[in-house]
Chains A and B, each alone.
Chain A
Amino acid sequence: MAESTAKPGAVPDEAGRRDFLRILAMAGGAVGAASVVWPLIDALNPGAAGEAQARPVITVSDIPENSAKKIYWAGMPVLIRRLTDQQIADAEVVAMTDLPDPAELSARVAPGNGHFVVVVGLNTGIPCELEGNSPSGPHGHYDGWICPCDGSQYDVLGRVRSGPAKRNLPIPRFAFIDDAQIQLG
Chain B
Amino acid sequence: MQTEAKQGWLAARVPGLGCVCGVMREGRAPGAPWLAALPVLLGALLALLLASGAVISVYYNPWHAYASLQGIAREVRGGWVVLGYHQTGASLIFALLYLHLFRLLLVRGYRAPAEFAWMLWVKLLAVLLLTGWLGFVLNGGAGGYASLFGASNAAMGLAGFPGAVAMWFLGAAPGGATLARLLVFHVLLALCAGWVIWMACAAARKARPAPRGRVVPFWPVYASQYFAALAALALVFSVLLGFAPHWGQGAQNTIPAGTMAMPVVSWPWYLTPLAGLAGAFPGVLGHVWAVIVAVALLYALPWLDRSKGAAPGRVYAALTWLLGLDVLALGYVTAFPMGGLLPELLTFWFFFHFLVLTPLVTMMEAA
Contact = CB atoms under 8 A, between A and B. Distances in A.
Contacts of B77: 42-43, 45, 47
Given A37-B51, A43-B55, A49-B75, 19 more contacts: A1-B220, A29-B227, A32-B231, A32-B234, A36-B48, A39-B78, A39-B81, A39-B82, A40-B51, A40-B52, A40-B55, A40-B85, A42-B78, A43-B77, A43-B78, A44-B55, A45-B77, A47-B76, A48-B75
A49 B59 CA distance: 14
Q: Is the interface of A mostly helix, strand, loop or mixed?
A: helix
A39 B75 contact: no
Interface in A30-75: 32, 36-37, 39-40, 42-45, 47-49
Interface of B: 48, 51-52, 55, 58, 75-79, 81-82, 85, 220, 224, 227, 231, 234
A42 B58 CA distance: 13
A76 interface: no
A25 B82 contact: no
A113 interface: no
7 contacts: A29-B227, A32-B234, A39-B85, A40-B82, A43-B82, A44-B55, A45-B77
A136 interface: no
B323 to A, nearest CB: 35
A29 B82 CA distance: 20
B58 A44 contact: yes
A49 to B, nearest CB: 6
A86 interface: no
B49 to A, nearest CB: 12
Contacts of B78: 39, 42-43
Contacts of A29: 227
Contacts of A42: 77-78
B163 to A, nearest CB: 41
Which of B58, B78, B79, B227: most chain A Cβ within 10 A? Answer: B78
Contacts of A49: 75
B220 to A, nearest CB: 7
Contact of B79 (A1, A5, A37, A43): A43
A44 B54 CA distance: 10
Most buried by B among A29, A37, A43, A49: A43
Nearest to B237: A36
A25 B58 contact: no
- In this complex, the member of A5, A32, A40, A45 whose beta carbon has the largest number of chain B beta carbons within 10 angstroms is A40
Nearest to A49: B75
A88 B220 CA distance: 75
Nearest to B51: A40
Given A1-B220, A40-B51, A40-B52, A47 B82 contact: no
Nearest to A48: B75
Which 10 residue pairs are nearest across A and B when measured between Cβ atoms? Answer: A39-B78, A39-B81, A47-B75, A43-B55, A43-B82, A42-B78, A43-B78, A42-B77, A40-B55, A43-B76
A16 B81 CA distance: 39
Contacts of A47: 75-77
Contact of B220 (A5, A43, A44): A5
A48 B79 CA distance: 12
B312 to A, nearest CB: 36
A29 B228 CA distance: 10
Contacts of B234: 32, 36
Contact of B227 (A25, A37, A45): A25
B275 to A, nearest CB: 31
B12 to A, nearest CB: 26
A74 B304 CA distance: 67
B44 to A, nearest CB: 10
A42 B79 CA distance: 9
Contacts of B220: 1, 5
B85 to A, nearest CB: 7
Nearest to A38: B78
A25 B85 CA distance: 24
A44 B56 CA distance: 9
Nearest to B79: A43
Contacts of A25: 224, 227
A25 B82 CA distance: 26
A48 B51 CA distance: 23
Nearest to B80: A39
Contacts of A5: 220
Contacts of A48: 75
Contacts of B85: 39-40
A122 B231 CA distance: 59
- Most A C-beta atoms less than 10 A away, residue of B77, B85, B220, B224: B77
A95 to B, nearest CB: 53
A7 B58 CA distance: 52
A45 B58 CA distance: 11
Contacts of B76: 43, 47
Instruction: From B58, B76, B85, name the one whose CB has the most chain A CB atoms within 10 angstroms.
Output: B76
A118 to B, nearest CB: 30
A54 to B, nearest CB: 14
